Amino acid sequence: MTHTVLKLQGITKTFGPVTANRDVTLELRHGEMLALLGENGAGKTTLMSILFGHYVADAGTVEVFGSVLPEGSPRAALNAGVGMVHQHFTLAGNMTVLENIMLGTEPLTAVRHDAASALRTLRALMDRFCLAVDPAAMVRDLSVGEQQRVEILKVLYRGARILILDEPTSVLTPQEADHLFATLRQLVGEGLSVIFITHKMREVMAASDRCAVLRHGELVFEAVTAETTAGELARAMVGSEIPKPRRPEPREGDEILCLQSVGVAGAGDKQRLRNCSLALKAHEILGIAGVSGNGQSQLADLLAGLVVPETGEIIIAGEGLERPTPAAMIARGVGRVPDDRTGTGLVADMTVEENLSTEVYRLPGFARRGVLNFKALASRAKQLIEAFDVRCPGIDTPVRKLSGGNMQKLILARILSNAPSIIVVNQPTWGLDVGATAYVHQQLLDAAKRGAGVVLISEDLDEIFHLSDRIQVMYQGALSEPLATREATREQVGLLMSGNHASGASRCTSGSNDAGAAA
């Protein structure tokens, strides 16, 4: 913990009118684990991308082991011993693990791969750090946790001394995350230095030696982890106190939505649903937890009326649904908040007003003999952006110009204005800052208080535990039995997320462990 291995000096970067980083100076010392915190959009990823040479900074320098790196060259960063594990993995799915790792490590003029010696080196690394993967496997066949292992191996294979991980736990189960941090600890123990980006306070407190907080592109706080508190960090991240959404007292309601052993065929990369049952009551928030890609999007599509079940039955308010369509779902009072805001949630190039009108434009009052009543639609839109605090220049602004938080408010405005009895939300706060997240949570709690039932599909366990009354876990297209949130523990849910019903996940396991065994 002595000398500095990496120094960012006065980094400034702007994208058009947006300043992503302003005069950031940060040091990393030998053998330490530094957590870089901040809300979405605080400039964490930009800063690390500059360090690794994906972006060129407007001002400032990057110094590694005492020498300044040339700008905009990932190759220079790699050669200087910096390795980066991106949040969105930079792997080619149609190629083997070994090919992905070997890429760029041999001179391009070589007339032949030396796959045999590469394999030897790789095996030695895997043994040393307990990072087992099958080198001959196609990357697309690996679980997300295993793919991350490949990314780490890739970096170690190149002999990196400084490891940067961007939101490494966002795709992992709690157990996989524990395993990851154990690996990182070992690396730090061997003299490597690690920076990991996160916005999860729990990880910072548990794993880091030191932490730094970015807010609106500026470094606002730096401390030794042991000498600070989660509360202090949260304040530094947000800049002010955010009111915590209040949970109303739980109330019993009638059953309004019931899935009975529903099966849905898989499509493309979407997991098939198997024998899913759930029962949702009025006034209730039912959390659906799970690692991404286990069928959550199929479940959301099912409840949105976008896919038709092969087997089983959907019962809404005691009435079975013959052939669900989106229109039938809307007519029965199902409000839908999809995970892909600009894909299925909104039409990005159309205006705020048009997007707010998509579920009502055919209703009397808004259309007469097939001609739209623009006056009524406009006044409704104005009223809604006021009521839901959507920050936009006007109702004729194209939606793509809105921030993620305002897009989500727009979607909420659209569905909540219909007073739905059932609300299906998929990843409602993904990519939102703390303020917008709190707003969305409050809206969902209020809707439940008014008597709606909410199906909350989320990969964020904190969110699930914070909002839901009961929790079901989705694993490989099947739903677990519901657990009462009050009695459930994170460990219990985490095990269900990895398809394990028994306790005791092993720490240093072979290649086909945890989620991998299921893939």
Partner 1 sequence: MELLNFVLEAGFWVATIRMATPLIFGTLGELLCERAGVLNLGIEGIMAAGSMAGWTWVYMGGDLWTGVCFAAFIGGLIGLLHALLTVQLGLSQHVTGLGITMLASALSSFVFRMLLPKATTPPKIIPFKAFAIPYLSDLPHVGNVLFNQSALTYLAFALVVVVAYVLFRTPVGLAVRMTGENPMAVEAQGLSVFAIRTWAVVAGSALMAVGGAFLTMSAFDAFYIGMVNGRGWICIALVVFASWKPGKALLGCVLFAAFDAIQMRVQQQSGMAVPYQFYLMMPYVFSIMALIIMSRRAAYPRALLVPFRKGER
Residues in touch with partner 1 (CB under 8 A): 49, 52, 54-56, 72-79, 84, 86, 88, 90-95, 99-100, 102-113, 154
Cα 406 vs. chain centroid, distance in angstroms?
Answer: 18
How far is it, in rounded angstroms, from Cα 266 to Cα 431? 27
Minimum CB separation of residue 106 from partner 1 in Å reads 4
Joined together, the tokens standing for residue 374 give: 């623009």
Amino acid (one-letter) located at 314: I
Contacts of 224 (CB under 8 A, 6+ apart): 209, 210
3-class DSSP assignment, residue 30 = coil
Q: Which residues does residue 495 pair with via DSSP β-bridges, in sequence order?
A: none
Tokens read off for 154: 């890739």
Closest approach of partner 1 to the CB of residue 360, in Å:
36
Q: Which is nearer to partner 1, 54 or 247 (CB)?
A: 54
* Closest distance to partner 1 from the beta carbon of 88 (Å): 7
Considering beta carbons, is residue 73 or 325 the nearer one to partner 1? 73
Residue 102, strand partner residues: none
C-beta closer to partner 1: residue 75 or 362? 75
Cβ atoms within 10 A of the Cβ of 268, count?
A: 4
CB of 6 to partner 1, least distance (A): 18
Task: Tell the smallest beta-carbon distance from residue 90 to partner 1 (Å).
Answer: 4
Our CB check for partner 1 shows the closer of 14 and 476 to be: 14
Q: How far is the CB of 190 from partner 1 (least distance, A)?
A: 23
Cβ(315)–Cβ(321) below 8 Å = yes
* Two structure tokens written together for 385: 């952006």
Give the other-Cβ count within 10 Å of 354's Cβ.
Answer: 19
Minimum CB distance to partner 1 smaller for 88 or for 323: 88
d(CA 514, CA 175): 8
Based on CB atoms, which residue is closest to partner 1, 98 or 407?
98
Nearer to partner 1, 163 or 314 (CB): 163
Give the shortest CB-105-to-partner 1 separation in angstroms: 8
Give the separation between CA 62 and CA 204, rounded to whole angstroms. 24
- Tell me the closest approach of the beta carbon of residue 75 to partner 1, in angstroms: 3
Tell me how far the alpha carbon of residue 143 is from its chain's centroid: 16
Q: CB of 8: closest distance to partner 1 in angstroms?
A: 18
Backbone φ, ψ for residue 319 (5° rounding): -120, 125
Helix (H), strand (E) at residue 198 = strand 193-198
Nearer to partner 1, 90 or 383 (CB): 90
Q: Is the CB of 144 or the CB of 412 nearer to partner 1?
A: 144
CA 402, 406, 407, 413 torsion-angle sign: negative
Task: Please count the residues of the chain.
Answer: 519
